[in-house]
């Protein structure tokens, strides 16, 4: 009989966006792969998919039904591994698997950025820290994706049997690649942008954390000095209309393109000159890794996830998150093409060294083997 693994997250798009290579790897090893999440999207490499009503908010009553469904699924299928993602996916899975862990099921939880971190609001520490601290007891392996979270989990003595640092979910560096000037010009022509336009790009959900408003304010500060600048914002979300209104209010609605949901991010990166990242909180942002893999310099707000990737004067700059500083860095890059090229080249080298899909898959394989007792455990080290 094949061994079984269950992947759990709040929504199924989490897997289609970030985890297909890992579902595929388990299938190739002969495992039965099951997925539980909200949503009705079909996923490749999956033998059984359960649509359950997991909600992001810990206070949503639907999570009670989701917990009951998960518990029933877990106890019925006798999984060898349950790998849970997203905060509520992690909470419900670990609670639902308490009984089956006694009979050998291993529970792995990937924290894609703890909500409690240096500088986080007090309410985050009051609400989320005790939850993660307690649930670590029901975790066989806690995976963190940035150094700050790893160190905190070790120093705060989270009681997970293993604590590992894996460098994110990986980027396909054969797909996200730089292109030369000729192809960039042809691609811009296809997307109806002039070759001399200075294109700034950000792909993210429109919400308060992603903070797109500061990027719109930044463009307003440089529109007269740099009239060929254009800001491309891909994504949808609750703050979308507010950002559209702000662009009109500041008189930059003609040079800010609200692209909505897109499935051509690679092409949009390849027509761009700079990637920006305005989010206030990040675990380890895939959108920035993809941009760096495409050879773009990055101007980002200083937070723990961005600090893992963006190094001042090497792959871009970290800023304090105000429009003045962001606009200043954009001006520098617009006026110094050689610097922009150098920063972008360095950024791709950083991705190739640590964050490529190939390297992350090897890291994950080792973790899974240690979880299953097929590879000797190593002692935790705070590096």
Clarify whether residues 15 and 103 are in a common domain. Answer: yes
Residue 175 counted as domain residue = no
The total of other beta-carbon atoms located within 10 Å of residue 336's CB is 12
CA angle 172, 175, 176 (to 5 degrees): 80
Number of domains in the chain: 2
Clarify whether residues 203 and 282 are in a common domain. Answer: yes
Clarify whether residues 23 and 81 are in a common domain. Answer: yes
Clarify whether residues 100 and 209 are in a common domain. Answer: no
Residue 225 counted as domain residue = yes
Which pair of tokens denotes residue 48? 């059984």
Q: What does the pLDDT profile of the chain (383 residues) look like in tens digits?
A: 689 999 999 999 999 999 999 999 999 999 999 999 999 999 999 999 999 999 988 889 999 999 999 999 999 999 999 999 999 999 999 999 999 999 999 999 999 999 998 888 999 999 999 999 999 999 999 999 999 999 999 999 999 999 999 999 999 999 999 999 999 999 999 999 999 999 999 999 999 999 999 999 999 999 999 999 999 999 999 999 999 999 999 999 999 999 999 999 999 999 999 999 999 999 999 999 999 999 999 999 999 999 999 999 999 999 999 999 999 999 999 999 999 999 999 999 999 999 999 999 999 999 999 999 886 554 434 43
Residue 342 counted as domain residue = yes
CATH number for the domain harbouring residue 334: 3.40.50.2000
The span from the CA of 333 to the CA of 226, in Å, is 11
H runs (alpha helix) in the chain: 13-18, 20-28, 62-77, 87-96, 98-101, 122-135, 147-155, 181-190, 212-222, 240-249, 265-270, 286-293, 304-307, 323-335, 337-350, 357-371
**DSSP state, 356?**
B
Among positive and negative, which fits the CA dihedral 249, 254, 260, 266? Answer: negative
Best CA proximity match to 78, nearest among 54, 106, 48: 106
Distances (CA, A) of 187 to 20, 265, 289: 28, 13, 21
Clarify whether residues 335 and 202 are in a common domain. Answer: yes
Residue 274 counted as domain residue = yes
Clarify whether residues 39 and 92 are in a common domain. Answer: yes
Clarify whether residues 123 and 206 are in a common domain. Answer: no
The span from the CA of 25 to the CA of 30, in Å, is 9
Which pair of tokens denotes residue 117? 């971190």
Residue 106 counted as domain residue = yes
Clarify whether residues 351 and 364 are in a common domain. Answer: no
The span from the CA of 309 to the CA of 282, in Å, is 11
Residue 110 counted as domain residue = yes
Distances (CA, A) of 226 to 192, 221, 223, 258, 332: 19, 9, 5, 20, 11
Clarify whether residues 207 and 314 are in a common domain. Answer: yes
Beta strands in 42-161 (DSSP E): 48-51, 81-85, 106-111, 141-144
**What pTM was computed for the model?**
0.93
Clarify whether residues 324 and 367 are in a common domain. Answer: no
Best CA proximity match to 326, nearest among 207, 217, 211, 234: 217
Clarify whether residues 121 and 253 are in a common domain. Answer: no
Clarify whether residues 362 and 350 are in a common domain. Answer: no
Domain that holds residue 47: 4-170+357-371
Distances (CA, A) of 107 to 37, 73, 83: 16, 14, 6
How far does Cα 45 stand from its chain's mean position?
A: 22
Residue 137 counted as domain residue = yes
Residue 377 counted as domain residue = no
The span from the CA of 1 to the CA of 5, in Å, is 13
Whether the CB-CB separation of 308 and 277 falls below 8 Å is answered with no
């Amino acid at each position: 009989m094949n061994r079984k693994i269950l992947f759990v997250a709040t929504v199924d798009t989490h897997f289609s966006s970030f985890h297909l290579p890992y579902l595929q790897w388990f299938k190739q090893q002969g495992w039965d792969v099951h997925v539980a999440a909200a949503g009705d999207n079909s996923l490749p490499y999956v033998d059984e998919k359960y649509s359950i009503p997991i909600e992001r908010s810990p206070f949503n009553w639907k999570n009670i039904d989701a917990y009951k469904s998960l518990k029933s699924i877990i106890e019925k299928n006798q999984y060898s591994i349950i790998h849970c993602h997203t905060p509520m996916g992690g909470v419900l899975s670990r609670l639902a698997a308490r009984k089956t862990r006694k009979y050998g099921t291993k529970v792995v939880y990937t924290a894609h950025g703890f909500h409690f971190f240096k500088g986080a609001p007090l309410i985050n520490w009051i609400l989320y820290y005790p939850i993660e601290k307690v649930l670590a007891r029901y975790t066989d392996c806690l995976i963190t994706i940035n150094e700050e979270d790893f160190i905190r989990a070790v120093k705060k003595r989270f009681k997970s049997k293993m604590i590992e640092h894996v460098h994110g979910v990986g980027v396909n560096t054969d797909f996200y690649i730089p292109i030369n000037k000729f192809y960039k010009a042809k691609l811009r022509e296809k997307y109806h942008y002039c070759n001399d336009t200075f294109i700034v790009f950000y792909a993210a959900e429109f919400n308060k954390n992603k903070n797109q408003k500061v990027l719109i304010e930044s463009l307003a500060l440089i529109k007269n000095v740099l009239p060929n600048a254009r800001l491309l914002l891909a994504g949808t979300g609750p703050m979308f209309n507010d950002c559209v209104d702000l662009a009109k209010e500041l008189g930059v609605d003609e040079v800010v393109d609200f692209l909505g949901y897109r499935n051509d991010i690679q092409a949009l990166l390849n027509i761009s000159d700079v990637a920006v990242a305005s989010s206030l909180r990040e675990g380890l942002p895939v959108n920035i890794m993809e941009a760096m893999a495409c050879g773009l310099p990055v101007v980002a707000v200083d937070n723990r996830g961005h600090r893992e990737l963006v190094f001042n004067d090497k792959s871009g700059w970290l800023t304090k998150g105000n429009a003045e500083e962001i606009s200043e860095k954009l001006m520098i890059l617009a006026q110094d093409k050689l610097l922009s090229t150098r920063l972008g080249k360095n950024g791709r080298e950083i991705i190739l060294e640590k964050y490529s899909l190939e390297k992350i898959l090897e890291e994950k394989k080792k973790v899974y083997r240690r979880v299953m007792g097929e590879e000797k455990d190593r002692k935790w080290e705070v590096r």
